[in-house]
Amino acid sequence: MKIFTTRAAVSRYIDQQKKAGLLIGFVPTMGALHEGHLSLLRSAKEQTDLVVSSIFVNPTQFNDPKDLEKYPRPVEEDISKLQKGVCDVLFLPEVTEMYSEQENWHIELDGLDNMLEGILRPGHYQGVTQIVKKLFDTINPDFAFFGQKDYQQFLIISKMVKKLRMKVKLVMCPTVREYDGLAMSSRNIYLSETERKQSLALFQALQQTKKNFNKQPLQLLKSEAICYLNQSQGIDLEYFEICNASTLEPISSKRVRNLIALVAARIGKTRLIDNMILK
């Protein structure tokens, strides 16, 4: 696996590979890699010729400085996981390589950044689109792979790609879960043993909603899930919504073509998100 730390060097290398006819697949991450990340790399390997990953803990997408400071950065372990896996190129820049000064530009996202996660984490998606745009400009991938786990992020990046007419094609890969259903996340390591058990309520609420989807009206599905989560020990619920999966607007009718349930909660000091496509 080749490792690059500067934009110029990785761009030059990938340019050469593209000129040689290789199809480039890109998997951006913030490191602390788990099976979820590795599944994206495997999808990239199946669909492209050269798999490029990046590890960069992007400061502009954190609205809580403490969260940024304590975000796990096990770089050596990550490199060895990537070396055993299917990654051909790792881009591992320092913050100064990606941001030379404070940057205030943002991309108009038609309000998609002011819903759900965007309300609770103001500015988060502007930070996400800033870094993903810079990474896309640097790597110039043919395909980029993202997890369904961060569903709103996928919609937002799709919007950015469309608005800026970028050539990259986006691929959404399924959420990888632990044996009991908890969605894998770099933040799961913060959970104590008790919190780890409590956090399962998120998956259970989503699963129950999906199971009852054809039997119950929407309002009841939603209120039962909220009631279940509010009664679950250790869960501090931030939102549980059933939305139009294309726009994230809350819906009142099942006639909408694609529906998704999304949830966010704090378990102790750890914030977790999850979702499930209902239709």
Catalytic amino acids? 37
- Residue 24 CB neighbours (<10 A): 23
Q: Which helix (H) or strand (E) holds 15?
A: helix 7-19
Q: How far apart are CA 262 and CA 93, in angstroms?
A: 32
Helix H or strand E segment including 155: helix 151-163
**For residue 84, with 0-12 CB atoms within 10 Å meaning exposed, 13-18 middle and 19 or more buried, which class applies?**
exposed
Residues in the site for ligand AMP, rule: CB under 6 A? 29-30, 36-37, 39-40, 146-147, 149-150, 173, 175-176, 183-186
- Give the nearest distance from C-beta 220 to ligand AMP in angstroms: 29
| Closer by beta carbon to ligand AMP, 45 or else 149 | 149
Round to whole Å and give the CA distance between 115 and 121.
10
Question: Which residue, 175 or 198, has its beta carbon nearer to ligand AMP?
Answer: 175
Kindly provide the b/e burial profile for residues 221-238, where b requires at least 16 CB atoms within 10 angstroms of the residue's own CB.
bbebbbebbeebebbebb
Residue nearest to ligand AMP (CB): 147
CB 34 → ligand AMP: shortest distance, Å? 7
Nearer to ligand AMP by Cβ, of 36 and 118: the residue is 36
Q: How far is the CB of 226 from ligand AMP (least distance, A)?
A: 24
Token digits of residue 232: 């679950």
CB of 266 to ligand AMP, least distance (A): 17
End-to-end CA distance of the chain: 40
Residue 53 one-letter amino acid: S
Alpha helix positions (H), 60-115 = 65-70, 75-84, 95-98
Identify the bridge partners of residue 2 per DSSP, sorted by sequence position. 89
Rounded to the nearest whole angstrom, what is the least distance from the CB of residue 1 to ligand AMP in the complex? 18
- Please identify, using beta-carbon distances, which residue of 184 and 251 lies nearer to ligand AMP: 184
Sheet arrangement for strand 169-173: 2-4, 89-91, 50-55, 24-29, 143-147, 169-173
In the complex, the smallest distance separating the C-beta of residue 213 from ligand AMP, rounded to whole angstroms, is: 22
